[in-house]
Structure 1
Amino acid sequence: MITLRVVVDQMVAPVPGGVGRYTEELTRALIATAPAGCEVEGIVSSSPPDQYEAIDAALPGLVSLTKTTLARRELAVAWSLGVTASTGTGMIHAPSLLAPLRRHDRQSDGTQIALTIHDVLAWTHPESLTPTTVGWTKAMVKRARKHADAVVVPSHAVAQQLAEIMDFGDRIRVIGGAVGSGLMLPTDSLVSGRVAALGLPEEYIAATGTLDPRKGITALITAMGLPGAPDLPLIVIGPDTWGELNIASVAEEAGLEPGRVRAMSGLSDEDLAIVIARASVFAYPSLEEGFALPIIEAFHLGTPVVHSDAPALVEAAGDAGVVVERADADGYSERLAAALSRVLGDTELNQRLRIFGSDRSRAFSWRDSAERVWQLHADL
């Protein structure tokens, strides 16, 4: 039996985030698509028993769970220093940079290590991360250049950016993600109750992000206060604060009345689906991303999308969204406002975007991603 060992530790991180969801969805799909004679095992840091149980419950079919002797923080430090003996040999796939990178010989013991680099923000936008995260990321990428057999990136945009930072030769593989398996609308009988509970207005613009300047949400809020901008509420799917900034103060500075912009965080998958699906338009003004999952989610739910011309977003959206140039930051809000007004005011364009987006979303599936990961390890 051939075993693929997946580092699933991000699933039980204090804040699993997008990488935690990616890890869970990809591992579940790897189990479902395992070729004949193959199985999937998990690797996790030393954690409380209930977290092991949560992994087992989320990943039925996982043959076993290797528990390291170190807790997550200590494990991250140890692996960044090359202390990896406890992880053993064999095929290892890490859905993030947290990987047991070490000198090994694929020919002698069959050990192969592939990891995932989701973005290059540590170089392009270090202010979006903590100094500790920036330092650890750069250290792990250096180790990956020495010891990784393959490096998975979510988009050709990241592949190109990474090539300018560090030479991985022909070891780069582009394998994107997909919409989460739980992002589905509940039955019609339940929707109205959830809409009331969430306090959703009849019409609104939805966006995903934080007030981190890289996310472009501040520019979007500013756009809502400009002359000729859509006279609709804005719902920001994300936290209300970032550092010392908060949604209310940014909206006030934009000249918007109280309550015109509100943040919603901690949504269940079904509630998230409702908020996106019922939006008149979905805005994703981010200035830099490694992958465009929120756009694909909106496409999947049939909502027209306005997004920036960040390379990863354009790559994922194809021609299914309305693109807004990021250049000339002073004019970005004006261009966002114009694009939103155009989509909301042109019924034919609005309908066309819904159709194109729904079609585009089918290009992304976890099954396809998992099959490509299996093929990657077979090629190695």
Structure 2
Amino acid sequence: MPELALLTEQLLAPVPGGTGRYTRELAAALAATAPPGWRVTGVVANHRDTSAARVDGVGGPRALRLPRRALTLAWEYGLPLWPGGDVVHAPTPLAPAAARRGAALVVTVHDTVPFTHPETLTPRGAAWHRAVIRRAAQRADALVVPTDTVAAELAEHAPGPARVHVVGHGVPAVLRTPPPEAVVAAVVAEHRLPPAYVLAVGTVEPRKGLDVLVEAMAGPSAPDLPLVVVGPTGWGGVDLRALAAQHGLPPGRLRVLGPLTDEQLAVVLHRATVLAAPSRAEGFGLPVLEAMAVGVPVVHSDAPALVEVAGGAGVAALREDVADLARALSSVVDSPERAAELVERGRARAAAFTWEHAAESVWRLHSRLLSEKAGT
């Protein structure tokens, strides 16, 4: 029975972020759509508690002998530590240096930010990602990327013989489905959610452009609504409350909720007036797709990947342009007709992206690679 070994280590990271969501959703979808005879096993570094890396339908997780830091260094220096499996899929660039003989290695590269916007990452993080992405392009059997934008940028910054396959993301069922009334009431009460608000979802770090959003919301041309921010705190010391005070956004108009469960996020997302995605750079932009799927109009930056994912169903604003972002938000909030049009177009656009479709595309890739290996 062939085994797909899926590296689910990102689920145990201090801040799993968007790549953590990708890892969990893709893993569950791969398990649900596995071809006959295949098994899917999660693989992680050595941790005291690996329960956060358990995924329904996925075996394991199987823990390797090395802890995360040691495993990262071992693979970084090219040590031949194979995590098992006939095919290994690394949902992040944390991956073996090369495939074991007769096996295949596939690596997902989410974006080219380490090359195009290294200032939005830590210097060490940017350097590490550039190195491992370039290595994967040279030594992996295939790369999976979420958009044509990333594929084109990867060809420029990290060319290599690895075949590149574009596979989009999806929207989890828990977010698509309207939450039960009891859950809505509990989340609204706990977080004191206002009846209408601008929503931003993402890790609070420089790349996400939340500093620009706070300044835009403080301006006279912005919608007179609260700003609600959902997501963990990342690196970079982005203090949204301090920025609000600096730009004159009253404390009552900023709600920083921190990380939420998917069930809680579903409530906050469904009740939003508009989603703002002001990122400086992205590889895909899951919140854009998730908002469109539940019928929330979207304003996004002109980062190429966000423009590609939105497909004309959102309103684009110039990156780092405070006035243009405020204008774009107001154009949606102040026009129910335009908002309704965006909702309709957004739902249609989001319907083309599902985790099941993503998993089926990935399975075709894995099956083909294993057949090719068997024939050599």
Using structure 2 for the length normalisation, give the TM-score: 0.91
Given that 1:211 and 1:218 are in contact with CA atoms closer than 8 Å, whether structure 2 keeps it comes out as no
Given that 1:240 and 1:246 are in contact with CA atoms closer than 8 Å, whether structure 2 keeps it comes out as no
CA 1:174–1:333 in 2, change beyond 3 Å: closer, same or farther?
same
Out of 131, 146, 154, the position equivalent to 1:139 is: 131
Partner of 2:373: none
Report how far residue 132 of structure 1 moved.
Answer: 2.5
Q: How does 1:344-363 map to 2 (within 5 A)?
A: 344-363=333-352
Given that 1:307 and 1:322 are in contact with CA atoms closer than 8 Å, whether structure 2 keeps it comes out as yes
Given that 1:205 and 1:283 are in contact with CA atoms closer than 8 Å, whether structure 2 keeps it comes out as yes
CA 1:95–1:188 in 2, change beyond 3 Å: closer, same or farther?
same
Out of 281, 284, 289, the position equivalent to 2:282 is: 289
Partner of 2:76: 80
Q: Single out whichever of 69-78 and 350-359 deviates more from structure 2.
A: 350-359
CA 1:166–1:203 in 2, change beyond 3 Å: closer, same or farther?
same
Q: Single out whichever of 230-239 and 293-302 deviates more from structure 2.
A: 230-239
How far apart, in 2, do the equivalents of 1:191 and 1:55 lie?
28
Given that 2:276 and 2:300 are in contact with CA atoms closer than 8 Å, whether structure 1 keeps it comes out as yes
Report how far residue 186 of structure 1 moved.
Answer: 2.3
CA 1:347–1:15 in 2, change beyond 3 Å: closer, same or farther?
closer
Partner of 1:307: 300
Given that 1:92 and 1:112 are in contact with CA atoms closer than 8 Å, whether structure 2 keeps it comes out as yes
Partner of 1:338: 327
How far apart, in 1, do the equivalents of 2:36 and 2:233 lie?
48
Out of 68, 87, 100, the position equivalent to 2:64 is: 68
How far apart, in 1, do the equivalents of 2:151 and 2:6 lie?
22
How far apart, in 1, do the equivalents of 2:110 and 2:263 lie?
26
Provide the secondary structure at the position in 1 that maps to 2:171.
Answer: coil
What whole-Å deviation, never above 9, does each CA across 1:153-189 have from its counterpart, x for those lacking one?
1111111111111213561111122123433442124
Report how far residue 141 of structure 1 moved.
Answer: 1.9
CA 1:86–1:226 in 2, change beyond 3 Å: closer, same or farther?
closer
How far apart, in 2, do the equivalents of 1:41 and 1:211 lie?
32
How far apart, in 2, do the equivalents of 1:116 and 1:19 lie?
10
Partner of 1:156: 148
RMSD between superposed Cα atoms in Å: 2.1
Q: Single out whichever of 244-253 and 293-302 deviates more from structure 2.
A: 244-253
Using structure 1 for the length normalisation, give the TM-score: 0.90
CA 1:239–1:45 in 2, change beyond 3 Å: closer, same or farther?
closer
What whole-Å deviation, never above 9, does each CA across 1:311-331 have from its counterpart, x for those lacking one?
1101111121111123xx4xx
What whole-Å deviation, never above 9, does each CA across 1:244-274 have from its counterpart, x for those lacking one?
4422221122222222222111212122111
Given that 1:177 and 1:365 are in contact with CA atoms closer than 8 Å, whether structure 2 keeps it comes out as yes
CA 1:317–1:84 in 2, change beyond 3 Å: closer, same or farther?
same
Out of 39, 48, 53, the position equivalent to 1:55 is: 53
Q: 2:244 aligned with 1:246, yes or no?
A: no
Given that 1:240 and 1:263 are in contact with CA atoms closer than 8 Å, whether structure 2 keeps it comes out as no
Report how far residue 302 of structure 1 moved.
Answer: 1.0
Given that 2:229 and 2:256 are in contact with CA atoms closer than 8 Å, whether structure 1 keeps it comes out as yes
What whole-Å deviation, never above 9, does each CA across 1:76-101 have from its counterpart, x for those lacking one?
11011121335346211111111112
Partner of 1:372: 361
Amino acid at match of 1:252: A
Partner of 1:98: 94
Amino acid at match of 1:150: A
Given that 1:247 and 1:262 are in contact with CA atoms closer than 8 Å, whether structure 2 keeps it comes out as no
Q: Which runs of 5+ in 1 are unaligned?
A: none
Q: Sequence identity of aligned pairs in percent?
A: 45
CA 1:139–1:260 in 2, change beyond 3 Å: closer, same or farther?
same
Provide the secondary structure at the position in 2 that maps to 1:152.
Answer: strand
Provide the secondary structure at the position in 1 that maps to 2:251.
Answer: coil
Given that 2:205 and 2:234 are in contact with CA atoms closer than 8 Å, whether structure 1 keeps it comes out as no
Q: Single out whichever of 128-137 and 307-316 deviates more from structure 2.
A: 128-137
CA 1:249–1:13 in 2, change beyond 3 Å: closer, same or farther?
closer
How far apart, in 2, do the equivalents of 1:241 and 1:101 lie?
27
Report how far residue 231 of structure 1 moved.
Answer: 1.1
Report how far residue 235 of structure 1 moved.
Answer: 1.0
Provide the secondary structure at the position in 1 that maps to 2:332.
Answer: helix
CA 1:209–1:347 in 2, change beyond 3 Å: closer, same or farther?
same
Report how far residue 194 of structure 1 moved.
Answer: 2.2
What whole-Å deviation, never above 9, does each CA across 1:4-52 have from its counterpart, x for those lacking one?
121122122233222222111111111111111222122221122x41x
How far apart, in 1, do the equivalents of 2:191 and 2:23 lie?
29
Q: Which runs of 5+ in 2 are unaligned?
A: 370-376
CA 1:279–1:89 in 2, change beyond 3 Å: closer, same or farther?
closer
Query: What is the number of equivalent residue pairs in this alignment?
Result: 368
Report how far residue 150 of structure 1 moved.
Answer: 0.2
